[in-house]
C-alpha cells in the first residue's frame, strides 16, 4: 500500500512539475512564434535564444508591487486568480499521457487517475476556470474589469454548449466516458476521421473557452485595456496568465486525447507521440492567433447560437443515426 | 505593394458569404511569413548602414602636417540656423589665423549641414556617426579635441563580466 502511495506521490510531483515547466515555456513559445510570423525575433536577450525569458518574467512578477484597489471586494479579489489557476491544474489529474509502462517489475500507469466519467469531470472543471475570470473582473471594482467579467460569463454559457455536443459525438463514437477508454478505442482509426465536424466544433469553441484571439472578448486589449485582469498586478496577474496558458496546454492534451488518438502512433514511444500531437495543436492555436483579427462581440454570439450550436446538434443526431444503422 | 499582396477578405457584397477560403488564405500567408527571415536589425550588435550623404556628428579636419584646416573665419557660425557654433579666432603675427576655441553644442544642432557647405576651407564636415551619447548637456558641447577625433564617440556596448553566458 505504502509503495502504491509513494508511487502516486512521485507521479503527481512529476506530472505537475513537468507540465508547469512546459506551460512556463509556452509563454516563450507564443512570443517567439508570433515574433517570427511578424518578421521579428521575439525575446532573445535573456539567455541564448531567449531561453531564460520565462524565469526572468517570473522574477519580475514577484518583485512588482501588489495593488488591491480600495473599492475592490477584497476576498473575492484574492480568490479569483487562485480559482483560475487551480481549475486547469486539477485537469492534469485525468489526462492520459501514455499507456502502462513496466519499471523494476512493477506496472505503472502514465496517468494519475482514470475515473469512469473522465470527460464529464473535464467539462465540469474546465468551466470553473472561467469563474476565475468572471470573479476577478467583477470584484475589482473597475468598469473595464466588470465588462470583461460579463463577457467571460456570456462566452462560458454559450460556447460550453457546442463544446459539450462535440464531446457527446466523441463519446458516441468511442462508446465510453473514460478518457483512457476513449484513447484505447482509437487504436485503429483516430476519431478525427470518424468525427471531423466534431473536431472543428471542438476547436472553435475551445478557442472561445480559452479566450484566445479571435474570441478574446473578456480581455480585448483595444477596447477594454485587457478586461477582467486590469486591476491585477504582481503575482496575481501572473497567476491569471499562467492559468490561461495551463488551459491552453490542457486544451492541446484534450484534442489529442479525444480526436488525435492519444498516445497511439508508430515507432516512437507513446508519451512522445502524445506530446508531439499536443504541441502540434498548441502550435495551431498560436498560429491562428497570429493570423486572425478579433471578432466583434455580437458576431461572436451570432457564430455560436446561429451556426455552431445548430451544427453541433445536427452533428450529434447524424452521428447517432449512423451509429445505430451501421 | 503589389496587387497580389493584398488579401481581399470581401470583394463584393455578393461574395459576403465566403468565409472559409479567406481564412485559409490568411493562415497560409502567416505560415509563409513564419519561415521567412526576420527583418530586425539587432541594434547594438548590428548597426544600420546609413547613406553616404548622412549628416551626423561633426569633425574638424586636418591637413598633412596635422594642423587644423580651419582659419576661424566664422562663416559656419554665422550661417548656422541653430546658432550652436562658437568660434574664438586667434591671429599670430605673420597672418596665420586659427581657432583658439571652437565649440559646437551637439544638443542644439539640427544637423542641417550648412556649416559644411559654408566653410571655404573644407575644414568642418559631418560624419556618418549617428549614435553618440552623453550623460549631460555640458558633455554635448564638443570642443576642438573632441571634434578632431569623432570616431571615438561612436556608441559601443560595454559587455558585463558574465554577459557572454547570457547570450
Ligand atoms: S549642421 Fe547646421 S545646425 Fe549643426 S552646426 Fe552645422 S550649421 Fe549649425
Ligand atoms: S570651420 Fe570653416 S567656416 Fe567655420 S570658422 Fe573654420 S574655416 Fe570658417
Give me the pLDDT at residue B157, please.
Answer: 66
Q: What is the mean pLDDT of chain A?
A: 84
Centre of ligand 1 from the C-alpha of residue A230, in Å: 48
CB B104 within 8 A of CB B134: no
pTM: 0.79
Give me the pLDDT at residue A105, please.
Answer: 66
Kindly state the cell numbers that stand for A233.
498586478
Kindly state the cell numbers that stand for B148.
578632431
Give me the pLDDT at residue B167, please.
Answer: 47
Partner B contacted by A306 (CB < 8 A) = no
Counting from 1 in the atom list of ligand 2, the atom nearest the Cα of B73 is: 8
Mean local confidence (pLDDT), B97-112: 88
Mean local confidence (pLDDT), A272-284: 89
What number is the ipTM of this complex?
Answer: 0.73
Residue B95 falls within a domain, yes or no? Answer: yes
- The residue among A284, A42, A44, A291 whose CA lies nearest residue B33 is A291
pLDDT in tens, A177-192: 888 888 888 887 887 8
Chain A CB contacts of B33 below 8 Å = 36-39
Partner A contacted by B29 (CB < 8 A) = yes
Residue A228 pLDDT > 80: no
- The residue among A186, A132, A172 whose CA lies nearest residue A156 is A132
What whole-number percentage of chain B has pLDDT above 90?
A: 8
Q: Which structural domain, as residue segments, surrounds residue A13?
A: 2-325
Mean local confidence (pLDDT), A183-203: 84
**pLDDT top residue among A139 and B161:** A139
**DSSP label at A218?**
G
Helix or strand or coil: residue A154?
Answer: helix
Centre of ligand 2 from the C-alpha of residue B131, in Å: 25
The DSSP result for B41-96, as a single string, is --TTTS-PPPPTT---SEEE-B-TTS-B------HHHHH-TT--EEEEEEE-TTS-
Give me the pLDDT at residue A117, please.
Answer: 84
- Cα B89 to Cα A16, A273, B100: the distances in Å are 77, 81, 6
Residues forming beta bridges with residue B59, ordered by sequence position: B125
Residue A240 pLDDT > 50: yes
Please report which helix (H) or strand (E) contains residue A239, including its range.
helix A234-258
pLDDT in tens, A48-106: 788 888 888 888 888 888 888 888 888 888 888 888 888 888 888 888 887 777 777 67
Residue B53 falls within a domain, yes or no? Answer: no
CATH number for B141: 3.30.70.3270
Q: Which residue of A has its CA nearest to B44?
A: A45
- Cα A229 to Cα A148, A210, A250: the distances in Å are 8, 15, 21
**Length of chain A in terms of residues written:** 326
Mean local confidence (pLDDT), B54-70: 87
The distance of B18 to chain A (nearest Cα, Å) reads: 14
Q: How many domains does chain B have?
A: 1
CB A41 within 8 A of CB A35: yes
Distance of CA B113 to the CA centre of its chain: 12
Kindly state the cell numbers that stand for A94.
485525468
Helix or strand or coil: residue A64?
Answer: coil
The distance of A231 to chain B (nearest Cα, Å) reads: 33
- The residue among B160, B67, B150 whose CA lies nearest residue B104 is B150
Residue B5 falls within a domain, yes or no? Answer: no
Q: How many domains does chain A have?
A: 1
Residue A41 to residue B164: CA distance in whole angstroms: 19
Kindly state the cell numbers that stand for A280.
502540434
pLDDT in tens, B2-38: 777 777 666 555 555 567 788 888 888 888 888 888 8
Partner A contacted by B39 (CB < 8 A) = yes
Block residue for cell numbers 559644411: B116
What are the strands, taking DSSP E only, across chain A?
98-103, 106-110
Mean local confidence (pLDDT), B148-167: 66
- The residue among A110, A220, A212 whose CA lies nearest residue A159 is A212
Would you say the CB of residue B118 lies under 6 angstroms from ligand 2? Answer: yes
Amino acid at each position: 500500500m505504502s509503495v502504491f502511495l509513494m508511487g502516486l506521490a512521485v507521479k503527481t510531483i512529476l506530472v505537475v512539475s513537468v507540465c508547469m515547466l512546459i506551460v512556463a515555456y509556452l509563454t516563450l513559445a507564443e512570443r517567439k512564434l508570433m515574433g517570427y510570423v511578424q518578421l521579428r525575433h521575439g525575446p532573445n536577450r535573456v539567455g541564448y535564444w531567449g531561453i531564460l525569458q520565462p524565469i526572468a518574467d517570473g522574477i519580475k512578477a514577484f518583485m512588482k508591487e501588489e495593488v488591491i484597489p480600495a473599492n475592490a471586494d477584497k476576498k473575492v479579489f484574492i480568490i479569483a486568480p487562485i480559482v483560475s489557476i487551480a481549475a486547469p491544474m486539477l485537469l492534469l489529474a485525468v489526462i492520459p499521457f501514455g499507456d502502462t509502462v513496466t519499471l523494476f517489475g512493477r506496472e505503472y500507469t502514465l496517468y494519475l487517475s482514470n475515473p469512469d466519467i473522465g470527460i464529464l469531470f473535464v467539462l465540469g472543471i474546465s468551466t470553473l476556470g472561467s469563474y476565475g475570470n468572471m470573479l476577478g473582473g467583477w470584484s475589482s471594482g473597475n468598469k473595464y474589469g466588470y465588462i470583461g467579467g460579463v463577457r467571460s460569463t456570456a462566452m462560458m454559457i454559450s460556447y460550453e454548449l457546442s463544446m459539450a455536443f462535440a464531446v457527446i459525438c466523441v463519446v458516441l463514437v468511442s462508446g465510453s466516458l473514460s478518457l483512457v477508454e476513449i484513447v484505447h478505442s482509437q487504436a485503429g482509426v483516430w476519431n478525427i476521421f470518424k468525427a471531423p465536424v466534431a473536431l472543428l466544433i471542438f476547436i472553435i469553441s475551445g478557442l472561445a473557452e480559452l479566450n484566445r484571439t479571435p474570441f478574446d472578448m473578456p480581455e480585448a486589449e483595444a477596447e477594454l485595456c485587457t478586461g477582467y485582469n486590469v486591476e491585477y498586478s504582481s503575482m496575481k496577474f501572473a497567476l491569471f496568465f499562467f492559468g490561461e496558458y495551463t488551459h491552453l496546454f490542457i486544451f492541446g492534451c484534450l484534442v489529442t486525447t479525444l480526436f488525435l488518438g492519444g498516445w497511439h502512433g508508430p515507432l516512437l514511444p507513446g508519451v512522445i507521440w502524445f506530446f508531439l500531437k499536443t504541441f502540434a495543436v498548441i502550435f495551431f492555436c498560436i498560429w491562428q492567433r497570429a493570423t486572425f483579427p478579433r471578432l466583434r462581440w455580437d458576431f461572436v454570439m451570432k457564430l455560436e447560437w446561429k451556426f455552431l450550436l445548430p451544427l453541433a446538434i445536427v452533428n450529434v443526431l447524424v452521428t447517432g443515426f449512423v451509429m445505430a444503422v451501421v | 505593394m503589389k496587387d497580389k499582396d493584398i488579401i481581399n477578405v470581401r470583394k463584393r457584397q455578393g461574395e459576403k458569404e465566403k468565409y472559409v477560403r479567406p481564412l485559409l488564405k490568411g493562415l497560409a500567408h502567416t505560415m509563409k511569413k513564419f519561415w521567412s527571415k526576420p527583418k530586425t536589425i539587432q541594434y547594438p550588435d548590428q548597426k544600420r548602414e546609413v547613406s553616404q550623404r548622412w549628416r551626423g556628428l561633426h569633425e574638424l579636419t586636418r591637413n598633412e602636417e596635422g594642423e587644423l584646416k580651419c582659419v576661424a573665419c566664422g562663416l559656419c557660425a554665422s550661417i548656422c540656423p541653430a546658432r550652436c557654433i562658437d568660434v574664438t579666432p586667434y591671429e599670430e603675427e605673420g597672418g596665420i589665423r586659427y581657432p583658439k576655441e571652437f565649440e559646437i553644442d551637439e544638443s542644439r544642432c539640427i544637423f542641417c549641414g550648412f556649416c559644411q557647405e559654408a566653410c571655404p576651407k573644407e575644414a568642418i564636415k559631418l560624419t556618418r556617426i549617428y549614435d553618440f551619447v552623453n550623460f549631460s548637456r555640458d558633455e554635448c558641447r564638443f570642443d576642438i579635441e573632441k571634434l578632431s577625433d569623432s570616431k571615438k564617440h561612436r556608441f559601443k556596448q560595454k559587455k558585463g563580466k558574465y554577459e557572454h553566458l547570457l547570450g
